[in-house]
Amino acid sequence: MYKENKWELDHESGIATLKYKRKEVIIDIADYRMAKQFRWVVYNGRFPYVRAYSHLTDDGTQKNVYLKRLVLGMDEDDRRCVVHKDGNCFNLRRNNLALTGRGLWKAEESTHNISIDPGVLNGETKEEQQATSTQSAGNGKPL
C-alpha cells in the first residue's frame, strides 16, 4: 500500500494544500474530496506538473490523472490544454486555470512566460481564432 498524501485544509481561505516533499500545491477546498481519492506525485522538472500514479481502467490499460484536469472536470479525450494564469504550476485553484487550444501549449513549453489571449480561451484553435478576427476587404485579403 502506498503512503497517503499530506493535506492541510484552511477553511477560512478556502484552500487545500497538498504537501509533497518540499513542494506545496494548492487547490480550492471544494475540490479536496475529489482530489484526496488519488495518490499525487509532484514533478518539478523543466515542465512541472502534478499527477496521480497510473491506475488500471476496467479494460486493463493504465491512465494518468493530472490534478489540474481533474479540478476542471476534463475528460481524457479533451485535447485542450490548461494554462496557469499566474505562471505558478502548483496553483491549481479554479480561478487560476484557463483552457486553451493545443497551439498555445507549444509557446508555453518553450518560454514559460504565458500571455493569455482571450481569443484562445475556451479551446478555440488558431484557425478558428483567425477566421473570427480577420476582416476581408472583399478580395479575400485581410484589411
pLDDT at 31: 96
Q: Which residues contact 8 (CB under 8 A, 6 or more apart)?
A: 16, 17, 19
Q: How far apart are CA 120 and CA 136, in angstroms?
A: 21
| 82-131 per-position pLDDT tens digit | 999 999 999 999 999 999 876 544 444 434 444 444 444 444 444 544 45
Q: How far apart are CA 4 and CA 129, in angstroms?
A: 44
Q: How far apart are CA 26 and CA 111, in angstroms?
A: 23
Q: What is the mean pLDDT of residues 64-86?
A: 90
- pTM for this model (two decimals): 0.65
